[in-house]
């Protein structure tokens, strides 16, 4: 079921200004009735109650996904911490966890190709690396820095730069098409009215101009940040995935909305998944963050906005999964079958901006962990063979989680 954005905006704004109806109810009505004669079946739309208890289920990763291991070459200038930013058909782009500005390019077999560092305050440099988008079709990479995007070729040569949209602060950028990026504005505005909120933008890869605004309806902006009682410090559980790529689907997530949306090629949005109770009515809030989406399962994380500054503990989490075939919700654990025993896999970590839609996610396995597991006889098959060649100080091994063909 598609939602016509103009119709939805006028409908919602009318009732918000009248102040006689809760916006969550309006959204539910829109989702039920649809617009333009399009309908959505019950099989396609799921509602997750974040306060409910669900049965537990254990899964083996290899039963529903393919796994590829890529050891990153360790030599000289290519020694790195293996934080993967992008994977393409031919190259893998990696940075370090520490903010040293180094960017490494490996081929798809893990062989080091080149390294560069343009960190600085100059017009052709970046102050930080918030994310990297690989555009192999145009032979470019886009580095999201401090309110600016810097474009280099795949050899690290500067090509151009452009600023974030005025008053915006992009915390996530992804490929949209050959000419555009899709960006999420992470500015934490607390009480803007619905009609003034536009969190997602499609922007030109050439100059950053906005080519399309995407409006996700909600009442008030929510934030994950928690401040101490004296307002001297704050903490956050980390950045959720606002933009997810699931095969040829583009999924948009806004923490202030009760619905996860699919963004369609005709620039309409379609309801994909909903949560209850409404995030607008909860105190403390329980956020429902999307994770890896597969042909069989949708993985999610329910996180409660609670934190104890005295103990340093908080943000309790519950890991949820919707089984599309059973049409049921579970709490889950996923294990990697290439380890003997139970080696769990994080299914709600950062997905990659992958253009070819082959890979769902990428995880890094530290060399010292694999070295120890190998010595203890805990590894199987191809991973065992790779670990046999490792030293404790080597670069990580990348675990590509791929959709089954």
The Cα 232–Cα 230 span in angstroms is 5
The Cα 3–Cα 261 span in angstroms is 10
Q: Where are the domains positioned within the chain?
A: 2-403
**SS3 of 259-299:** EEEEECCCCCEEEEEEEECCHHHCCCCEEEEEEEECCCEEE
45: its two tokens: 């739309």
Neighbours of 99 (CB within 10 A): 11
CATH number of 2-403, picked from 1.10.10, 1.10.8, 2.130.10, 2.60.40: 2.130.10
pLDDT of res. 280: 94
pLDDT of res. 356: 52
Q: Which residues of the chain have pLDDT under 50?
A: 1-42, 189-196
Phi, psi of 293 (to 5 degrees): -110, 125
Q: How far is CA 116 from CA 77, 155, 156, 157, 365, in A?
A: 10, 8, 6, 9, 24
Give percent above pLDDT 90 in the chain: 67
pLDDT digits (tens, 9 = 90+) for 201-256: 999 999 999 999 998 888 888 888 899 988 899 998 887 889 988 877 899 999 88
pLDDT digits (tens, 9 = 90+) for 282-325: 999 999 999 999 999 999 999 999 999 999 999 999 999 999 99
Q: How far is CA 335 from CA 62, 256, 303, 347, 404, in A?
A: 9, 32, 22, 10, 17
The Cα 368–Cα 300 span in angstroms is 29
Prediction pTM value: 0.84
């Amino acid at each position: 079921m598609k939602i016509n954005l103009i119709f939805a905006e006028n409908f919602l704004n009318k009732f918000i200004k009248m102040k006689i109806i809760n916006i969550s109810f309006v959204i539910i009505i829109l989702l039920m009735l649809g617009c333009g004669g399009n309908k959505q079946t019950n099989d396609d739309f799921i509602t997750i109650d974040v306060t409910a208890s669900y049965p537990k289920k254990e899964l083996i990763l290899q039963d529903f996904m393919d796994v590829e291991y890529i050891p990153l070459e360790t030599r000289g200038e290519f020694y790195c911490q293996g934080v993967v930013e992008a994977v393409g058909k031919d190259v893998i782009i990696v940075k370090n966890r520490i903010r040293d500005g180094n960017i490494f390019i490996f081929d798809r077999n893990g062989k080091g190709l080149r390294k560069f560092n343009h960190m600085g305050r100059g017009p052709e440099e970046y102050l930080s690396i918030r994310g990297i988008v690989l555009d192999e079709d145009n032979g470019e990479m886009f580095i999201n820095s401090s309110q600016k995007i810097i474009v280099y070729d795949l050899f690290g040569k500067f090509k151009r730069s452009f600023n974030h949209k005025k008053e915006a602060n992009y915390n996530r950028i992804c490929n949209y098409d050959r000419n555009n990026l899709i960006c999420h504005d992470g500015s934490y505005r607390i009480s803007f009215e619905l009609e003034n909120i536009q969190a997602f933008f499609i922007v030109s890869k050439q100059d950053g101009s906005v080519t399309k605004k995407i409006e996700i309806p909600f009442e008030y902006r929510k934030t994950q940040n928690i401040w101490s009682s004296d307002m001297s410090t704050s903490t956050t559980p980390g950045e959720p995935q606002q933009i997810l790529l699931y095969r040829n689907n583009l999924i948009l997530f806004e923490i202030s909305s009760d619905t996860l949306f699919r963004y369609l090629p005709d620039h309409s949005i379609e309801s994909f998944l909903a949560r209850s109770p409404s995030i607008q009515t909860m105190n403390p809030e329980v956020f429902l963050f999307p994770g890896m989406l597969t042909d069989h399962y949708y993985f999610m994380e329910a996180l409660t906005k609670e934190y104890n500054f005295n103990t340093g503990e908080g943000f309790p989490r519950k890991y949820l999964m919707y089984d599309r075939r059973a049409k049921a919700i579970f709490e889950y654990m996923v294990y990697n079958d290439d380890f003997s025993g139970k080696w769990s896999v994080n299914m709600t970590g950062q997905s990659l901006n992958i253009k070819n839609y082959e890979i769902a996610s990428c995880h890094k396995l530290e060399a010292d962990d694999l070295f120890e597991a190998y010595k203890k006889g805990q590894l199987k098959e191809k991973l065992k063979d790779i670990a046999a060649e490792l030293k404790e100080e080597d670069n990580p091994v990348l675990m590509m989680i791929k959709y089954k063909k």
